[in-house]
Amino acid sequence: MIHQYKLGGYNIVLDVFSGSVHAVDEVAYDAIALLDAGQTRQQAADALAKKYAGRADVTPADIQDCLDDIDELTKEGKLFAPDAYADHAFDFKNRSNVVKALCLHVAHTCNLNCSYCFAAQGKFHGEAGLMSFETGKRALDFLVENSGTRRNLEVDFFGGEPLMNFEVCKQLVAYARSIEKAAGKNFRFTLTTNGIGINEEVIEWANRECHNVVLSLDGRKEVNDRFRVDLAGHGSYDRIVPKFQQLVKARGGQGYYMRGTFTHHNVDFTNDLFHMADDLGFTELSMEPVVAPPDSPEALTEADLPKLFDQYELLANDMLRRQKAGKPITFYHYILDLKHGPCIYKRISGCGSGTEYMAVTPWGDLYPCHQ
């Protein structure tokens, strides 16, 4: 499988199944596209000769040399590589008996009233409720009992707004710490919060106990306050930004990321990312597309797509500029490891939702997590 794109003056070819990434010239880029479309070598050579007929620097011999190079890379398994693991893929959901992570919905309620909320203002289209310590404790025991030989276990405090049940969050972490040594496990906790409930105690606890903290902010004040409002309809920006800055500073600028949502009303979402980076000082960033019914005013449309594609390219180029300037930022969905990328295990087994990663409601219901 071949994936091709152009960015920053580079012609990039990704051979998906081998994991090889090639930066090539125009002729090779076009030649690979022709061959990938099913043309024979001779057909590709003829098409290239016709396209570059007016170019003195692209001779028939050059085209043949280019095709030879492609043949050599193909023989080496770096282009047009077969999916060597296609026959090894299996129905992981029917075979896995190991759970590695839980998303604890400690609060099916929220102190904000975001109209675009995929969790229906925190209640997940059900009734409001808070998880008891007993339910959470049983969930942690379940994780230990079903984690097999895995040592590192992940637990996410989620909602709604988990800080509305902060006492139980604290109790559950304390319980996990009391059993992890004897169980031979290492619990890593994540907190996702809208920031309203952050105070000195929360900051001290989160920075001591939470491996990661996800902070919900949509960017510019006018963008954030369009949807992220309290029950009285007041925007949250002025209340949460200073708290986020205080928490991140206390964490040494590590182990967090800002999680925003872009809608039809801010398809220019890079301006929100740049506001968070340049004006607010946050460097670990994420921005997700809204999940909404097609007929809702905030839903993204087909007409938005070209603008969004431009935004992602603009972001990539700006991140390269910042990297060269020695002031990099991280964008969650651009975190790539070209040397140790997604492992084969993950490719053939899937993300683990519903098998390795489960969610637990305040009432102890267990279901696949699609977070």
The model's pLDDT over 109-133, given as tens digits with 9 standing for 90+, comes to 999 988 887 554 444 545 779 999 9
Distance CA 98, CA 91 (A): 14
pLDDT at position 206 is 97
Distance CA 344, CA 269 (A): 33
Distance CA 108, CA 106 (A): 7
Instruction: Tell me the pTM.
Output: 0.86
Tell me the average pLDDT across 245-257.
Answer: 96
pLDDT bin (cut points 50, 70, 90) of residue 27 is very high
Q: Quick check: 41 pLDDT over 60?
A: yes
Task: Give all strands (DSSP E) within the chain, no chain letters.
Answer: 2-7, 10-15, 20-24, 101-108, 129-130, 152-159, 186-193, 210-216, 256-262, 284-289, 330-331, 357-360, 366-368
Question: Which tens digit of pLDDT belongs to each residue from 56-92?
Answer: 999 999 999 999 999 999 999 999 999 887 776 665 5
pLDDT bin (cut points 50, 70, 90) of residue 188 is very high
pLDDT bin (cut points 50, 70, 90) of residue 185 is very high
Distance CA 358, CA 339 (A): 30
Is the omega angle on the peptide bond into residue 260 within 30 degrees of 0, that is, cis? no
CA 334 to the chain's CA centroid: 8
Buried b (16+ CB within 10 A) or exposed e, 65-74: ebbeebeebe
Q: What are phi and psi of 257, to 5 degrees?
A: -155, 150
> 53-62, 91-100, 265-274: which has the minimum mean pLDDT?
91-100
What is the dotted CATH code of the domain comprising 92-368? 3.20.20.70
Q: Give percent above pLDDT 90 in the chain.
A: 77
pLDDT at position 340 is 66
The DSSP letter of residue 116 is T
Residue 319 Cα distances to 220, 282, 283, 315, 329, angstroms: 19, 14, 11, 6, 7
Bigger pLDDT: 160 or 152? 152
273: helix, coil or strand?
A: helix
pLDDT at position 321 is 94
Parse the chain into domains and list their residue ranges.
2-84, 92-368
